[in-house]
Amino acid sequence: MPNKKYLFLQEVTEQIKSKEAKKYVADELGYHLQEAKKLWLEKGLPEAEAEEKAIEQMGSPIKLGKQMNRLHKPKVDWFMMILLVTTLGLGFLPIISLGYIDDRYFSVSKTIMVVLGGAAAIGLMLIDYRKWKTRGWLFYLLGILLLVLIRTFSNTTINGVPRLRIPGIITIESSMALPFFFLAWASFLNNEKLKVWNFSILFMIPILLFLIVPSIPIIFMYTVTVFVMLWWSKFSRKMILSITGVTIGLFITIGFTSWQFLQTYQKVRLLAFFNPEKYSNGAGYLALRLKGLMSKAGWFGHPGQKEFIPEAHTDFVFVSLSYIYGWLFAIALVIILSLIIVRFIVISNRIHDPFAKLLLIGAVVLYGVQLASHLGMALGVFPLTSISLPFISYGLMPVLLNSFLIGIVLSVYRRKDLLSYR
């Protein structure tokens, strides 16, 4: 026959609609009932009477259940949702401004990308992020497998980077491994048993695979994300400094030997960044041209003029939009995209779960690196690479990767009141 404690908890949880909240409330109330029962036992009451007294202290189970239902109702960050819808909508601007909207291929493809991005964000929001805490190895191996498949079975190349194209479905690129490694490292860095040598090996294996693909911009994004998450983890400063020192040493060693893996155009691009005038008839021409277009944009742009801008809807979309719509629009666009970072940080400051904190810090960095790098390219303070402008650059990954990050943040926010402080 069910005991009184079980019946009490059952009556309380019957008033709660959320399944996740039911379990949380039952665990928490069960713990407090047990503690209250211990106090009554210490006062000399029999076990049955002590349990009854503890239950009486809780009050009406129906009233308590209704209070818990209101308190632990799943939250939706509507401000973040508005930002998501806004940025997904702004993603149509490049194909509209360049006249691609009338092209059925571009318009349909972009619509599918936006729908997939929105679905990914909402789908991840509904998943309990705490289930990922112990699945770091699964995510890590999936990321490794994806890179191996791209390298082994690639059947198309864009700018010297191999990709696996599945006709009529999707083109798989190396950046698709980033979400898996991101989740994996959040799990690894939440485990205090991680050793320096463990970190170095786990960190360098993806680096080597990214070099073989090759994909230098993705290496940059991956490296910055992992190390910032490391410095925000709960490891001691001595441990962090040891890991950083060892890994930097490995990085320098591999860096000297990996120059041969770079494509010729990649080497020239890097050299042209430092002295574009010297390469004005080659790799430096593009940097100088982009600089000229940005300077001629003016406050209100040139919406009626047709100026050729290379990769205007992808790699250099910020330059094309700035030139067409002007600096005022460019500033407004940067503010809107930056609000996502601000919101990530605000939510992070409200979270006390270490694993959730790592996820949020990683999301800030992974998103922020893309935004800062793309803007840096447009302004001439960062080498010309293929790092996209989040949500705005045409393509699946600029939408899907960043929708994935927002979905994770929404998942954390939705469960921020379901974290035990015991």
Q: CA nearest 61: which of 27, 13, 17?
A: 13
Question: How many domains, in total, are found in the chain?
Answer: 2
So what's the pLDDT on residue 421?
46
Is the residue at 254 inside a domain? yes
- Residue 173 sits in the same domain as residue 37: no
> Considering the domain boundaries, does residue 420 fall inside one?
no
Contact assessment for residue 412 and residue 121, using Cβ atoms and an 8 Å cutoff: no
Residues 6+ apart with CB under 8 A from 387: 217, 220, 221, 315, 369, 370, 373, 374, 377
pLDDT at 386: 80
- For residues 190 and 49, membership in a common domain is answered with no
Q: Are residues 25 and 167 in the same domain?
A: no
Residue 409 inside a domain? The answer is: yes
Query: Is 18 in the same domain as 110?
Result: no
**Rounded distance between C-alpha atoms, residue 363 and residue 204, angstroms:** 21
Please enumerate in sequence order all residues whose Cβ is within 8 A of that of 61, keeping only pairs 6 or more positions apart, or say none: 8, 11, 12, 15
Per the domain annotation, does 356 fall within a domain?
yes
End position of a domain, from candidates 37, 52, 71: 71
Q: What angle do CA 388, 392, 397 make, to 5 degrees?
A: 55
Strand 161-166: give its sheet, edge to edge.
156-158, 161-166, 170-172
What's the pLDDT score for residue 241? 85
Residues 110, 239, single domain; the answer is yes
Residue 150 in any domain: the answer is: yes
pLDDT of residue 95: 87
Do 141 and 179 lie in one domain? The reply is yes
Q: Are residues 55 and 183 in the same domain?
A: no
For every one of its 422 residues, what pLDDT tens digit does the chain have, with 9 covering 90 and above?
357 777 777 777 777 777 777 777 777 777 777 877 788 777 777 777 777 777 777 777 778 777 777 777 778 889 999 999 999 999 999 888 887 777 788 888 889 999 999 999 999 998 889 889 989 999 999 999 988 888 777 666 665 566 666 665 567 778 888 999 999 999 999 887 888 788 888 988 998 888 877 677 888 899 999 999 998 887 888 888 887 887 777 777 766 766 666 666 666 666 777 767 766 666 677 777 777 788 888 888 887 767 777 787 888 889 889 988 989 999 999 999 999 999 999 998 888 888 999 999 999 999 999 999 999 888 888 877 788 899 999 888 889 999 999 999 999 998 887 655 44
Q: What is the pLDDT of residue 422?
A: 47
Within-domain flag for 328: yes
CB 215 within 8 A of CB 160: no
Task: Among 71, 86, 112, identify where a domain stops.
Answer: 71
pTM, 2 dp: 0.84
Q: Domain for residue 421, yes or no? A: no
Residues 90 and 60 in one domain: no
Same domain, 36 and 130: no
Q: 46 lies in which domain range?
A: 4-71
Whether residues 193 and 291 share a domain: the answer is: yes
Which of 26, 41, 71 is the C-terminal boundary of a domain?
71
Residue 259 is given by DSSP the state G
Asked whether residue 230 is assigned to any structural domain, the reply reads yes
pLDDT at 360: 95
Q: Looking at the structure, do residues 184 and 321 belong to the same domain, yes or no?
A: yes
| 89 and 14 within one domain | no
Residue 57 is predicted with a pLDDT of: 78
